[in-house]
Structure formats: C-alpha cells, structure tokens
C-alpha cells in the first residue's frame, strides 16, 4: 500500500555515523546487489557499473579519495558502493543489452527487436554531442539507481549515506577506472547507524508542499 511506502519515506534519513560492529548479512547484501542490477535506466541502456567495498581494506582504498567530513561514513559502514559510468557510449554494450533483452524474451519477432535497437540508438545519439554530455546523461542514470536502492534498503531497515564529497579523479586513479573506460560519479555507504547518530532523532525537514508541488 502507498501508505506503507510513505511511512518508509518519512522515517528514512541520511546516516551520519555507522556502527562498525553491525554488518549487513551476506544474504541481505546479495539482495541489495540484485536491486542495483534491476534499477531502471533510460531506454534500458543500463550504463552504471558498481564497485563494492565490503572489507576493511577495500573501504580504506575508497577512503583515500574521500573528503575528511565523509571519512567515517566510508570506513565504519558495512558496505560502500562506488557508482561508475562509461566515458563513452559503446557499440559492444548496445549489442549486449539488445541480446540480453532477446534472451529474456522481450521480443516476439525480429521487427520488434530491431525497432527497440533503433529507438535506443536514437536516444543515445541525442546525448553524443560531446563526451561531457554523454557522461552527464549516464550520470543521471546513476542517480536513478541511487534513489531506487536507498529507498529499497530503507524499507529493509538498512541505513545509507549518499556522498559526493570525494576527489573523484583521485578515486578513479585509486580504482583504475579510467583504464576500464569508466568514471566514478557518486558513492553510497550502507549499514546500520550508531547510537550517537544525531540524525536518527532529528525531525525531518522539507519545504512546504505549496513551494514544491504545482498544479498545471
């Protein structure tokens, strides 16, 4: 019911302090990864690749590029995910997505398959004005996935922190992303908040409805 979803939204907040002794179980984390895999993207292009830091050593590697304000939210979280996007649209990726759709039974005939392929290529082409534009479009897909997963994890009682306070070029170097044709665009921590997390008890604050919702 929508009321249950609204209740989750009302309760969800950004964790500021994590309890390092509490870890997300392997079974639950596997579900989080599946949620990321199933996240929506424009024309189903699925450009986002996720790098998961689930060990202390891996989180320390990510933390090398973090601004000091966010260091604890990386080092003490249970899991940290680096969201990355391609530096350019790739022909091999377009073909891989199309063939996976076909394998999953999305096309009743070759004509429908070809129409989807051409439609997707059209929309990708609209954003290939420059390398910066295509990267920006891919980044929007990363934020779609981010919103999708933080809502889902909140429903499961898992806390999260969305972070842009990073030296992303440094993070790319640390993880060797540019050699893979990728760039990091945001980082999200997951885990369970510590008892001293003041954000857990602060009232949620948002602008009034009339300032953000407008009837046409």
Give CA 58 to chain center in angstroms. Answer: 18
Which of 75, 70, 96 lies closest to 164, judged by CA?
A: 70
CB 124 within 8 A of CB 41: no
Taking the C-alpha atoms of residue 17 and residue 100, their distance in angstroms, rounded to an integer, is 40
Q: What is the mean pLDDT of residues 59-64?
A: 97
Give the tens place of pLDDT for each residue, 11-40. 999 999 999 999 999 999 999 999 999 999
Task: Give percent of the chain above pLDDT 70.
Answer: 100
Which whole number is the average pLDDT over 44-60? 98
pLDDT of amino acid 3: 79
DSSP code, position 23: -
Question: Is residue 77's pLDDT more than 80?
Answer: yes
Separation CA 26–CA 35 (nearest Å): 14
- Helix (H) or strand (E) holding 6, with range, is helix 2-11
- Provide mean pLDDT across the span 53-62: 97
Q: Where are the domains of the chain?
A: 2-89+128-193
pLDDT per residue over 95-117, tens digit each?
A: 999 999 999 999 999 999 999 99
**Helices of type H across 76-197:** 91-103, 110-126, 131-155, 168-175
- Rounded to two decimals, the pTM is 0.95
Task: Name the superfamily (CATH) of residues 2-89+128-193.
Answer: NADH Oxidase (3.40.109.10)
For residue 159, name the pLDDT band (cuts at 50, 70, 90): very high
Residue 1 has what pLDDT?
75
Res 158: pLDDT: 98
pLDDT number for residue 62: 97
* Cβ atoms within 10 Å of 130's Cβ, excluding its own: 9
* Partner residues linked to 86 by β-bridges: 182
How many percent of the chain have pLDDT more than 90?
95
């Amino acid at each position: 019911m929508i009321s249950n979803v609204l209740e989750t939204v009302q309760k969800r907040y950004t964790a500021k302090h994590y309890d390092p002794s509490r870890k997300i179980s392997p079974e639950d984390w596997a579900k989080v990864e599946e949620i990321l895999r199933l996240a929506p993207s424009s024309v189903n292009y699925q450009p986002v690749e996720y790098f998961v830091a689930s060990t202390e050593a891996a989180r320390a590697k990510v933390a090398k590029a973090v601004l000091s304000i966010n260091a604890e939210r990386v080092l003490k979280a249970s899991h940290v995910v680096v969201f990355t996007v391609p530096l350019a649209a790739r022909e091999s990726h377009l073909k891989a997505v199309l063939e996976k759709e076909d394998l999953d039974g999305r096309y009743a005939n070759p004509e429908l398959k070809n129409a989807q392929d051409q439609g997707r290529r059209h929309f990708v082409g609209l954003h290939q004005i420059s390398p910066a534009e295509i990267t920006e479009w891919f980044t929007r897909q990363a934020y779609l996935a981010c919103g999708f997963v933080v809502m889902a994890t909140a429903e499961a009682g898992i806390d999260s922190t969305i972070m842009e306070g990073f030296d992303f070029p440094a993070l790319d170097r640390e993880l060797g992303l540019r050699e893979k044709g990728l760039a990091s665009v945001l980082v999200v921590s997951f885990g369970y908040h510590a008892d001293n997390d003041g954000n857990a008890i602060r009232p949620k604050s948002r602008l009034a409805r009339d300032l953000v919702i407008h009837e046409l």
